[in-house]
Amino acid sequence: MGLSAMFVACSFLAILISSPTNAQTAPSPLLPPSPAPAPAPHFVNLADLLSVAGPFHTFLNYLEQTQVIQTFQNQANNTKQGITIFVPKDSAFSLLKKTTFSNLTRDQLKTLLLYHAFPKYYSLSDFQNLSASNPATFAGGSYTLNLTDNSGRIHVASTWSNPEITSSVYSTAPVAVYQINKVLLPMAIFSTEPALAPALAPAPETTKPSDLAPSSGRGIASAPKSSESSTTESSASSISIGLFSSLVMAVSSGFMLIL
Ligand SMILES: *[C@@H]1O[C@H](CO)[C@@H](O)[C@H](O)[C@H]1NC(C)=O
Ligand SMILES: *[C@@H]1O[C@H](CO)[C@@H](O)[C@H](O)[C@H]1NC(C)=O
Ligand SMILES: *[C@@H]1O[C@H](CO)[C@@H](O)[C@H](O)[C@H]1NC(C)=O
Ligand SMILES: *[C@@H]1O[C@H](CO)[C@@H](O)[C@H](O)[C@H]1NC(C)=O
């Protein structure tokens, strides 16, 4: 009775101790994952993308009000050419008087939104070549944008504004979404220069060209170091636990022999 109780206790102990050993041998989440297979071209939900990035709430609300979002999504879903959208941040809209947009007719607002996209996918590096030809936007032939690429700082000029691309939100063919810091304002919609919002106008955004540059490896370089050392530590301790648990196993199987 005493012996079998001891045996039960010992095997229980052995199970307790050996189970963390098994857990330790599982691949550590700290190790970099093996490279994933090339992703298949997948569906990009533009409304979802715009609702989490930015903030782009003003632009997204206008897209949904006018149903231009469907036009863009259809182009993204169903064409080989794809789409490139320039999305002004909320702060770009608040630079201008509210009446600039509330006074537009529904058709004008629609055209203004279509003016913020090309019916074709362009990567950032494509813009160098585009600066020579002023390509027409989704709004039609007379609605063109002039692109300039000044050693990596890309500007997209309309008649009354010359916003800079301040961030690449998404760019995988056939869909590109670039953040711009001003609203595009074409002559065909605004016959005079729209007035700036009074006083409250936020301070000009500090542009971060680094947003466009591939991120430097600094953060990544330091990461493997720490995960390496913690992996070494944990494998060392798993070895000692392993030894101990096999000892306990040996002792308990000794009891089994006695029984
Ligand atoms: C785009 O594709 C998605 C997924 O296939 C679908 O749910 C959505 O209705 C499509 N939208 C348009 C406008 O084609
Ligand atoms: C917008 O409309 C209001 C009222 O209809 C008018 O007073 C105002 O001058 C208009 N503003 C612009 C910029 O056209
Ligand atoms: C730009 O145009 C030149 C000559 O027309 C071509 O060789 C180059 O590949 C083009 N670059 C891109 C990024 O399309
Ligand atoms: C683009 O550039 C062309 C010629 O360089 C000019 O005629 C046109 O007005 C410009 N358009 C805009 C929207 O700045």
Q: What is the reported pLDDT for 199?
A: 66
Note whether residue 135 is domain-resident: yes
Q: Whose CA is nearest to atom 13 of ligand 4?
A: 158
Cα–Cα nearest to 112, from 53, 77, 158: 158
233: left (phi over 0), alpha (psi -120 to 50) or beta: alpha
Note whether residue 255 is domain-resident: no
Q: What is the reported pLDDT for 36?
A: 56
Distance 43 CA to ligand 1 centre (A): 8
Note whether residue 239 is domain-resident: no
Distance 144 CA to ligand 4 centre (A): 8
Distance 14 CA to ligand 4 centre (A): 79
158 close to ligand 4 (CB < 6 Angstrom): yes
Note whether residue 224 is domain-resident: no
Distance 49 CA to ligand 2 centre (A): 33
Distance 212 CA to ligand 1 centre (A): 29
Q: What is the reported pLDDT for 204?
A: 58
Cα–Cα nearest to 114, from 149, 148, 74, 147: 74
pLDDT digits (tens, 9 = 90+) for 216-245: 444 334 334 444 444 444 444 444 444 444
Identify which ligand lies nearest to the alpha carbon of 135.
4
Nearest ligand 4 atom to the CA of 157 is: 14
Residue carrying structure tokens 């691309």:
165
User: In the chain, how many domains are there?
Assistant: 1
Note whether residue 4 is domain-resident: no
Q: Whose CA is nearest to atom 6 of ligand 4?
A: 146
Q: What is the reported pLDDT for 130?
A: 82
State which residues form the domain around 127. Answer: 46-209
> Encoding tokens for residue 168?
């690449």
Note whether residue 123 is domain-resident: yes
Note whether residue 87 is domain-resident: yes
Cα–Cα nearest to 153, from 161, 162, 164, 145: 164
Cα–Cα nearest to 212, from 163, 182, 173, 179: 179
Q: Whose CA is nearest to atom 1 of ligand 3?
A: 129
CATH number, domain of 180, equals 2.30.180.10
Mean pLDDT, 10 residues at a time, the chain of 259 residues: 50 46 47 54 89 95 97 96 97 93 95 97 90 87 91 93 96 96 95 84 53 45 40 44 46 48
> Encoding tokens for residue 228?
């390496």
Are the beta carbons of 173 and 82 closer than 8 angstroms?
yes
Identify which ligand lies nearest to the alpha carbon of 163.
4
Identify which ligand lies nearest to the alpha carbon of 134.
4
Cα–Cα nearest to 174, from 44, 86, 71, 39: 44
Note whether residue 63 is domain-resident: yes
Whether the model pTM is above 0.95: no
The one-character DSSP state at 166 is E
